[in-house]
Structure 1
């Protein structure tokens, strides 16, 4: 299964892996996130969406709950052992949400400061937090992992993707809109499963037409480090049993 997922990820730009997290693990993840104070500026709440940005910083105990068992084994196979998490977002598309995400690529990364780096554009600073569009080289080193806490299909806003579009590099918006959307694939992911994808894969999601929530933990993982001493704004090493042992001893 892992070999198939790795090949599919390289060729299609995404792969779906079911049954990675058990119901008890998902309940513990949801309980930990729900315990977070709602007063953080990183939390956005409306009729259509509930989102927590900088999730790895807002919930520092999360890596300990995530990086274990089947999740570790799968990611070691897909990415390689020496990876780290550089972004975490939690979001829920509530029942009946009319929130629509248009066709796009994920082009922004979060860093600690601004630097003059060749090929890096669209620097933005919101609430003192820097984001930038790096060159395609760095985007191609990132893996997006979406952990589904609920069953997800086209009725509650499953992602739609254009297979293989990650191979075309960074696309201007008119080029994205010109792509043939009739060949889009809907990523139905069962509860406890993963959608692993490349950021340059063109994707979108429709509004929810069901009464079901769509809770997702969105992680971005990479083995790469940034140029000119830049640091990822969020950073978490792969959690291991050795980490747990060291923390206990300290």
Structure 2
């Protein structure tokens, strides 16, 4: 199956009713059964903490879908479960997702800056790495303007990795797209597509399974982390 040309142009697309109710409820039930309150901005490495999420992200349903947008075999490289609620009602300013997590700090031309977060090496790679990645946002709840859904700038990924001044200019000159969604809908996007999220004016559960896949072959000595 080939991806729609509009995805290459706009940098995103939405698939309605992608995930069935049984799978959604299985994940929600496991989230709600967690012994401790999870951090404000979500459950990172969620596949290591939630067996239902691990099953989903490794399913043929998601992997086959991811490979439509990649150059080869899809590998899971980042998984986060977000939940924006009245108590966790955050604001995310306009930005690109332009760093990856890897196993070591290597001197690679065109890669950097490097940072160390929670013992994991993060780096901004060359654009070609981001262009062989795809982000899936699977909605476990309805997402609306009222509960702080995602906003994006269509086509902004085509400008590459942006400096802050260029990012601000594009945001000011462009019309944003409000990514409202129903439970079970899938938003697919390139990681360097400009996106943001306002605080909810009527906050409620807005649970998202955020999965990043890649088929990029990392330089020798590096692995995804």
Task: State the shift of 1:76 in Å.
Answer: 4.1
Structure-2 separation of matches of 1:31 and 1:53: 18
Shift of the 204–108 alpha-carbon distance from structure 1 to 2, 3 Å rule, reads same
- Which residue does 2:126 correspond to in 1? 135
Q: Give yes or no for contact 2:71–2:132 (8 Å, CA) kept in 1.
A: no
Structure 1 residue 34 displacement after superposition: 3.5
Corresponding residue to 1:173 among 158, 164, 168: 164
Match of 2:39 in 1: 44
Distance 1:220 1:69 in 2: 15
Indicate which of 201, 209, 213 corresponds to 1:209. 201
* Cα offset, 1:224, TM superposition: 1.3
Measure the CA separation in 2 of the matches of 1:171 and 1:65: 33
Counterparts of 2:185 and 2:214 in 1: how far apart (Å)?
20
Q: Which of the residues 134, 145, 148 maps onto 2:139?
A: 148
Indicate how the Cα distance of structure 1 residues 111 and 60 shifts in structure 2: closer, same or farther if over 3 A, else same.
farther
Unaligned stretches of 5+ in structure 2? none
What's the C-alpha RMSD, in Å, of the aligned pairs?
2.2
Please state if 1:101 is matched with 2:92.
Answer: yes
- Report the Cα offset of residue 155 of structure 1: 1.1
2:56 alignment partner in structure 1: 65
User: Are 2:18 and 2:185, in contact at CA under 8 Å, matched by a contact in 1?
Assistant: yes
Matches within 5 A, 1:1-250: 6-38=4-36, 43-45=38-40, 49=41, 51-59=42-50, 62-68=53-59, 70-79=61-70, 82-95=73-86, 98-181=89-172, 183-233=175-225
How far did 1:96 drift?
6.9
SS at match of 1:117: coil
TM normalised by structure 2 equals: 0.90
Aligned counterparts of 1:145 and 1:162: Cα–Cα separation in 2: 17
Residues 92 and 215, structure 1, Cα contact 8 Å, conserved in 2:
yes
- Number of aligned residue pairs: give it: 224
Q: 1:72 to 1:124 in 2, by over 3 A?
A: closer
More helix by share: 1
Query: Structure 1 regions of 5+ residues with no counterpart?
Result: 234-250
Quickly say closer, same or farther: Cα 1:80–1:168, change in 2 above 3 A.
closer
CA-CA distance at 1:37 after TM superposition? 4.4
Per the alignment, do residues 180 and 104 of structure 1 end up closer, same or farther by CA in structure 2, a change over 3 Å counting? closer
Moved more, 19-28 or 62-71: 62-71
